[in-house]
Amino acid sequence: MAELSVEDAEARLTLDWTSPLRHSSFYKAVYRPAVLRANRLVPAAQLAPTQSFHSLRHTYASLCVAAGIPMFEISRFMGHSKPSTTETVYAHLLGDDHSAAMGALGGLAAAATEAHAGNVIRLRG
């Protein structure tokens, strides 16, 4: 699947959202080929082949902290039973000023939205 074009991979991929995904099947059939395909199609990205899907969860939470979303909401998004769990994991990010980084990411998001206007669904704001 990693050798397929994005369009061919999308045509072969069908996810049944009515039942839980099997972790091993998802990794072998979807996630790992997507990482390899991204490296092939965008050499500057160079994602580590060992990049875990779980690390994307940490990236999401870190971006939420940097965007100033309240910890209680992030905790809810992440499915943590207590906000203190989220605060413990991401406390090292709370004191930093992320405004420059968030501005740069906003510029990337705007460019990506324009480039893939029919393919991107805005989740917030």
Q: How many whole angstroms separate alpha carbon 48 and alpha carbon 44?
A: 12
Q: Which tens digits make up the pLDDT trace of 69-123?
A: 888 999 999 999 998 988 888 887 777 676 676 666 666 666 555 655 565 555 5
Q: Which of 48, 51, 90 is nearest to 69 (CA)?
A: 90
Q: Which tens digits make up the pLDDT trace of 21-42?
A: 777 778 887 888 888 888 887 7
Q: Is 53 in contact with 15 (CB distance < 8 Å)?
A: no
| Sequence-distant (≥ 6) Cβ neighbours of residue 72 within 8 angstroms | 83
